[in-house]
Amino acid sequence: MVNPAAPRLDIAIERWPIAGQFTISRGAKTEAIVVVAQLSQGGLRGRGECVPYPRYGESAEGVAETLRGIADRVAAGLSRTDLQREMPPGAARNALDCAFWDLEAKRSGKRVHELAGLPSPRPLTTAFTISLGTPDAMAEAARRASGRPLLKVKLGADGDPARIAAVRAAAPAAQLIVDANEGWAAETLGANLAACAAAGVTLIEQPLPAEADDALRDIPRPVPICADESAHDRASLAALVGKYDAVNIKLDKTGGLTEALAMDAEARRLGLFTMAGCMVATSLSMAPAMLVGQTARVVDLDGPLLLARDRADGLVYEGSLVHPSSPVLWG
């Protein structure tokens, strides 16, 4: 039954070209495919954007179909609180959860941070990603970005010690973090960790496959290790203690801002410091993640910087300094 006071849900799949090519250990892509959920009510609209994650069996078409399947529940009065029980964590719930937050802000005349009981967000320094390639290609990319304070270096293939050494030589003043995207093995872990330590790397994301990360309990960690593919929502955190030092909170994994904020608090309670991460996407994806970034030790919200163009009214980036969103965009 339709509730005349409930919002209408519309879904769109959008394609945003990437500037060049984005390459990680699992492959390369030349465009970001996002799904946008829009809630319309009384002349107001709330939007949320997600990036389906093939690593977890998600596709744009599948996520859009999942959201269309819950549209009748939304029309009958499903709330954001109900949503946490009705949908599992993942990209589909992220888009709808963030759309609910945006619409709540528009209806109330308050910003999302106020509704969530958070302080006013401040600008943040984001990492800038260097895609996986040959040592020479990565060194050249690092040289072009060497004026940025924080670089995220994609690794996860044979020859990674040479890659990280080349990047360090090309960007001697930048802080480096590494993302192996599950591309290392237990047999090479020690050598790769040593190479990263020698290069002054300050954090390494997900060096081993999620299903094989118990090996992290048994090896010295000269550089702090951050869980990414091993971390999803609050339920995944307890198993990370003793293997990881930090957790990368991404809204497409948590299923939205609601769970991301709760996960952030729980991670810190367990002694894990946090990183605010993203997929390659537009500013509409980054805007809610900016609130998670306020308490994170490391911020990686450079998605729009990797695109050929961003959406109108996108986040303002001054070099690597990213400013909170305007309410025209989100929240």
Taking only the tens place, the pLDDT of each residue in 72-131 is 999 999 999 999 999 999 999 999 999 999 999 999 999 999 999 999 999 999 999 999
pLDDT of amino acid 1: 56
In this prediction, what percent of the chain has a pLDDT beyond 70?
A: 98
274 in a structural domain: yes
Residues 311 and 210 both lie in one domain: yes
Residues 210 and 275 both lie in one domain: yes
Residues 103 and 240 both lie in one domain: no
Instruction: Judge whether 86 and 276 are in contact, CB under 8 Å.
Output: no
1 in a structural domain: no
Q: How far apart are CA 156 and CA 329, in angstroms?
A: 35
Residues 180 and 221 both lie in one domain: yes
**Which CATH number goes with the domain that contains 27?**
3.30.390.10
For the cut 90, the answer to whether the pLDDT of residue 3 exceeds it is: no
Residues 88 and 235 both lie in one domain: no
What is the domain range of residue 36?
8-115
Residues 30 and 96 both lie in one domain: yes
208 in a structural domain: yes
pTM score: 0.95
Residues 108 and 251 both lie in one domain: no
**Which CATH number goes with the domain that contains 230?**
3.20.20.120
Domain-terminating residue out of 49, 84, 115: 115
Least confident piece of the model among 20-34, 152-166, 248-262, 306-320: 20-34
Lateral strand order in the sheet of 321-322 = 124-125, 321-322, 317-318
Which residue among the candidates 106, 110, 152, 154 is catalytic per the annotation?
154
Q: How far apart are CA 85 and CA 331, in angstroms?
A: 23
For the cut 80, the answer to whether the pLDDT of residue 67 exceeds it is: yes
Q: How far apart are CA 204 and CA 153, in angstroms?
A: 9
2 in a structural domain: no
Instruction: Tally the domains of the chain.
Output: 2
Domain-terminating residue out of 82, 115, 148: 115
Residue 63 CA: distances (Å) to CA of 30, 52, 90, 312: 20, 7, 9, 24
Which residue among the candidates 106, 152, 250, 253 is catalytic per the annotation?
250
Question: Pick from 42, 52, 47: which is nearest to 15 by CA?
Answer: 52
Domain-terminating residue out of 115, 148, 164: 115
The reply to whether 154 belongs to the active site is yes
Residues 102 and 189 both lie in one domain: no
For the cut 70, the answer to whether the pLDDT of residue 25 exceeds it is: no
pLDDT of amino acid 2: 60
For strands 317-318 and 321-322, give the pairing. antiparallel
The reply to whether 243 belongs to the active site is no
Who's near 108: CB < 8 A, 6+ residues apart? 115
Beta-strand ranges (E) seen in 142-262 are: 150-154, 175-179, 201-205, 225-227, 246-249
212 in a structural domain: yes
Residues 108 and 129 both lie in one domain: no
328 in a structural domain: no
Residues 78 and 180 both lie in one domain: no
Across all residues in the chain, what is the average pLDDT?
96
183 in a structural domain: yes
Residues 182 and 299 both lie in one domain: yes
- What sign results for the dihedral spanned by CA atoms 329, 90, 9, 115? negative
pLDDT of amino acid 21: 76
Residues 21 and 158 both lie in one domain: no
3 in a structural domain: no
Instruction: Judge whether 308 and 19 are in contact, CB under 8 Å.
Output: yes
